[in-house]
Structure 1
């Protein structure tokens, strides 16, 4: 990221004191908005903050799940930071979640996801990525209706893992969360992600920034 660019933490200045979901306000440590390069061609979208992200305030950091994602990004040239970094130096990638607050005992409700929809929609509209990595079923569900021609019921992240789904204006790469995927499944996704970058994305890298 450029040294004179916006702060990578919540660069769009979204409401860090959001109280739209009272039950989550009571359980979260903080609101976890997006983090990374606002000129990114790749967005990594998770379902909701893990305990680590709730503690650090940065998506995909602070625990084994975050370290697996950061290691993946580093191996593909998107990060120069150690996987355990709480504020990774990212280039051309943006990290975010469907819902921004964590409940330690349950997933977000449909109503809570709808309350966060405006944040996610605004980020994707402003970034206009080429690729979206959808980490987990919740992330894939959030993209299905608005951004693909397929229904939520037709998209299963296990079946779609390490494949490419054509979206409206970008491609979606679904993956099982790294703490759920087997070693073979995670390796398959890493290889598929790399092949998509080589096949399409790297051929046009930089054109949108001229």
Structure 2
């Protein structure tokens, strides 16, 4: 299923050639799984969002299969349940790109647009994809709060927002005010591994978004 982007002018082409190893994996999966999306995954959410969530990359059986970020794998359940709890998602998440889920006030943009082998993009692949992330951040006029899911997302977010990594160390619930005026909040990634090992609990994850809501209110000057 094709999922239109809320930021269509910022997306890579369907057959983006920038990263040879990712292209090879994409072509292999197009043969093995011709019904899957198997292409760069578009942003998903509200183009007028106040909150931008920076993910890592599509999961093999999640976004790379369905064509929508965090859709169809274990990570999406916790993410979308949490967003719904804070009034940032409506409809019903069913793990399919054609369900009724919609984001309101939030948008998901990934640091890497294509599926990397073993969910581990190389530094060169992260760098090659960063212009798309930067373009998407620039196209979000109301996004004053960012949440980075994991260290790679954190590093890419700091760089596109004009920060400096030595001064912005990654840690769960760490908060960084970047030179361009936004606030970046870090979270452990909501991956199956982190959930199953207890590194990230639902309560820990909710605390990140509770703080994001507080920061937004502080920036707006509302109680």
Q: How does 1:114-125 map to 2 (within 5 A)?
A: 114-125=127-138
The DSSP-based 3-state class of the residue aligned with 1:60 is coil
Structure 1 position 22 matched with structure 2 position 20 = yes
Picking from 65, 75, 88, the partner of 1:65 is 75
Q: Structure 1's 115 and 50: CA in aligned 2 closer, same or farther, altered over 3 A?
A: same
Picking from 109, 112, 122, the partner of 2:125 is 112
Alpha-carbon distance between aligned partners in 2 of 1:149 and 1:126, rounded to the nearest angstrom: 18
Structure 1, unmatched stretches of 5+, are 1-6
Alpha-carbon distance between aligned partners in 1 of 2:149 and 2:202, rounded to the nearest angstrom: 11
1:53-104 CA-to-partner distances (Å, cap 9, x unmatched) read: 1111111111110111111111111111323343321111111111111123
Give the structure 2 partner of residue 165 of structure 1: 176
Alpha-carbon distance between aligned partners in 1 of 2:183 and 2:92, rounded to the nearest angstrom: 28
Q: Displacement of 1:169 after TM fit?
A: 1.7
Give the structure 2 partner of residue 194 of structure 1: 210
Q: Structure 1's 35 and 154: CA in aligned 2 closer, same or farther, altered over 3 A?
A: closer
More divergent stretch after superposition (41-50 vs 98-107): 98-107
TM-score, structure 1 as length reference: 0.82
Structure 2, unmatched stretches of 5+, are 27-37
Contact 1:68 1:83 in 2 (8 A): no
TM-score, structure 2 as length reference: 0.77
Aligned-residue Cα RMSD (Å) equals 2.5
Q: How does 1:44-59 map to 2 (within 5 A)?
A: 44-51=53-60, 52-59=62-69
After the TM superposition, which segments of 4 or more aligned residues of structure 1 sit over 6 Å from their partners? none
More divergent stretch after superposition (173-182 vs 183-192): 183-192
